[in-house]
Amino acid sequence: MTDTGRAPTPSPEIERQLAALGPRAIVVGLPSFNNAATVPAVGAAVRAGLAAHFPEVPAALVNVDAGSTDGTAELLADAGLPVALARHEAPLGERAAVPFHGIPGRDAALRLAFRAARRLDGRVLVLLEADVTSIGADWIERLVRPVLEEKADLVLPAYARQRYEGTMTNLLLAPLARALFGRRLRQPLGGACALSARLLDHVLAHPDLPSTGRDLIDLWVTGRAIADQFALREAWLGPRRVESRTRTTDLPTMAAQVLGALFTVMERYEPLWLGVTGSEPVPAIGEPVARGPAPTTVDVERMVGAFRRGVRDLVEIWEHVLAPETLGDVLSLDARDAGTYRFPDPLWARVAYDFALGHHYAVVHRDHLLRSLVPLYLGRTAAFVLATQAASGAQTEAALERVGAAFERQKPYLVERWS
């Protein structure tokens, strides 16, 4: 394979390690940053999965590390797998305030992993998360087999989650991704995934491969793969349990990063979404798991309180971001009585689109804009919780389907105003 395009060339040291490994059909890419507590479990799951499901296929682990100081790389070197240890550029700012996915400089890490996988002549690159301890041997099988045996090019994850896990994904990211890209992805951002050699070659050679900006590459690859007719699959992987001391749990930071990434992809790569209409489900591998009842305590009162505080404190920002009718409708939501409080899906879709437009036109400082969405997100989440507390799993799925459908129906609102 020849390397073209804009991905950085691996250093001579990593080139030497890759050359020593020789061809490996299965490449497991593992970005990491101070994950010593969890990488032994992840390494063991990889080893067991490969041994159980692909004993005959040559495989290797490529670790791309952001500069761990806790011995993460050393632990992986001893994981009992053929391994290459690489370091990628991680901006100091991202190391000081770790992103929602836990990997400073994730874009650089993935570009490096893509290149390494092609150097090893890999037929599939599986990307895993170094701090997800619920990984089992079967995850490897479900991510790898569709690529090796079913001509899939991109396998994205679907997790078995209780209904109030992934609220930002379920109420915002997934509906947006569905409307933008035309695929009903359950987990458009964050999680384990797998890419085919064909897709890797395509993105590495693509002039648009993001080389600046933050957290763009996952969404861009997905959007690119969909736009260019690559075969998508969704793999049911079971629960996703994160054990991280570094991932942020600050919702405004999370919102700023996640939505900032999505809105920037919209901004830079209009052809990926502007002309897309309708949506299709993605063929799934494994047994779908309906969203379980809520074991965690979710504090609806506090969410409603945050929404009300937002109405009180942020109107002066929102009036720059939201269309006058959208703002009027938001301000007239009556959150005083939990029994009657609703946040209609079409309104929520308009809110999200107004924020995308506000980001596009930079009507206020973009970071402030993104953060000011959080009380609205909490208000929408509170309404979702109130509506589904006593609902069945199927009813909850239906409620989320309605959100996605509303985003899809309202997409012309976004497109007309974008230009």
Partner 1 sequence: MRRRAPAGRDWYRDAVFYEVHVKAFADGNGDGVGDFVGLTQRLDYLKDLGVDCLWILPMYASPLKDDGYDIADFYSIHPAYGTVEDFQTFLDEAHARDLRVIADLVMNHTSDQHPWFQASRSDPAAAYADYYVWSDSDVRYREARIIFVDTEKSNWTFDPARKAYFWHRFFSHQPDLNYDNPAVRAAMLDVMRFWLDRGLDGFRCDAVPYLVEREETSCENLAETHAVLKEFRRVIDQEYGGDRVLLAEANQWPEDVRPYFGEGDECHMAFHFPLMPRLYMAVRLEERLPIVDIFTHTPPIPPGAQWALFLRNHDELTLEMVTNEERAFMYYAYARDPAMKLNLGIRRRLAPLLDNDRRRIELLNSLLLTLPGSPIVYYGDEIGMGDNVYLGDRDGVRTPMQWSRDRNAGFSAADESKLYLPVIADPVYGYQAVNVAAQAGTPSSLLNAMKRLMAARRTSPAFGRGSIEFLRPRNQRILAYLRREQRDTLLVVNNLAGSPQPVELDLRSFAGSTPVEMLGRTRFPTIGEAPYFLSLGPHGFYWFRLERPDGGDEPYGIEESAI
**Beta strand extents in 70-211 (DSSP E only):** 83-87, 124-127, 154-159, 183-184, 193-196
Residue 35 in contact with partner 1, rule: CB under 8 A: no
Identity of the residue, 207 or 295, whose beta carbon is nearer to partner 1 in the bound complex: 295
* CA 301 – CA 343 distance, rounded (Å): 15
Which listed range, 15-23, 30-38, 292-300, 358-366, lies at the site for partner 1 (CB under 8 A)?
292-300
**Quick one: which of 250, 270, 280, 367 contacts partner 1 (CB under 8 A)?**
250
* CA 322 – CA 324 distance, rounded (Å): 6
**Quick one: which of 111, 145, 161, 411 contacts partner 1 (CB under 8 A)?**
161
Residue 177 in contact with partner 1, rule: CB under 8 A: no
**With contacts defined by CB under 8 A, how many residues of the chain interact with partner 1?**
39
**Quick one: which of 137, 148, 274, 315 contacts partner 1 (CB under 8 A)?**
315
Terminal Cα-to-Cα distance of the chain (whole angstroms): 40
Residue 242 in contact with partner 1, rule: CB under 8 A: yes
Identity of the residue, 289 or 327, whose beta carbon is nearer to partner 1 in the bound complex: 327
The enclosing H or E element of 27 equals strand 26-32
Task: Give the list of residues 6+ apart from residue 225 with CB closer than 8 angstroms, or none.
Answer: 153, 154, 199, 203, 232
Which listed range, 18-26, 86-94, 177-185, 296-304, lies at the site for partner 1 (CB under 8 A)?
296-304
Residue 189 in contact with partner 1, rule: CB under 8 A: yes
Q: How far is the CB of 324 from partner 1 (least distance, A)?
A: 7
3-state secondary structure of 6: coil
Half-sphere exposure of 211 (CA within 13 A, CB side): 12
Residue 401 in contact with partner 1, rule: CB under 8 A: no
Which listed range, 67-75, 105-113, 144-152, 249-257, lies at the site for partner 1 (CB under 8 A)?
249-257
Task: Give the list of residues 6+ apart from residue 257 with CB closer than 8 angstroms, or none.
Answer: 99, 100, 214, 215, 248
* CA 117 – CA 120 distance, rounded (Å): 5
Residue 309 in contact with partner 1, rule: CB under 8 A: yes
Which listed range, 126-134, 192-200, 271-279, 307-315, lies at the site for partner 1 (CB under 8 A)?
307-315
Residue 249 in contact with partner 1, rule: CB under 8 A: yes
Structure tokens at 409: 């129906």
Residue 128 in contact with partner 1, rule: CB under 8 A: no
Residue 169 in contact with partner 1, rule: CB under 8 A: yes
Residue 336 in contact with partner 1, rule: CB under 8 A: no
Q: CA 401 → CA 121, 167, 260, 390, 396, distances in Å?
A: 40, 13, 24, 18, 9
Residue 332 in contact with partner 1, rule: CB under 8 A: no
3-state secondary structure of 334: coil
Residue 302 in contact with partner 1, rule: CB under 8 A: yes
Sheet order of strands, 124-127 included: 83-87, 59-65, 26-32, 124-127, 193-196, 154-159, 232-238, 284-285
Residue 192 in contact with partner 1, rule: CB under 8 A: no
Which listed range, 128-136, 202-210, 227-235, 306-314, lies at the site for partner 1 (CB under 8 A)?
306-314
Task: Give the list of residues 6+ apart from residue 336 with CB closer than 8 angstroms, or none.
Answer: none
Dihedral (Cα; 348, 349, 352, 353), 10-degree rounding: -140
Residue 380 in contact with partner 1, rule: CB under 8 A: no
Q: CA 117 → CA 22, 24, 64, 81, 110, distances in Å?
A: 11, 8, 12, 16, 10
Which listed range, 26-34, 54-62, 106-114, 320-328, lies at the site for partner 1 (CB under 8 A)?
320-328
In the chain, % helix, strand, coil (3-state, to 5) comes to: 50, 10, 40
Q: 72 near 32, Cβ under 8 Å?
A: yes
What residues does 233 pair with on adjacent strands? Answer: 155
What binding mask, one character per residue, do residues 72-101 give for partner 1 by CB under 8 A, x or -?
Answer: ----------------------------xx
Residue 299 in contact with partner 1, rule: CB under 8 A: yes
Residue 289 in contact with partner 1, rule: CB under 8 A: no
**Quick one: which of 56, 149, 287, 316 contacts partner 1 (CB under 8 A)?**
316
Residue 399 in contact with partner 1, rule: CB under 8 A: no
List interacting residues with partner 1 (CB under 8 A): 100-101, 161, 164-169, 173, 189-190, 240, 242, 249-251, 254, 258, 296-299, 302-303, 305-306, 309, 312-313, 315-316, 319, 324, 327-328, 331, 378, 381
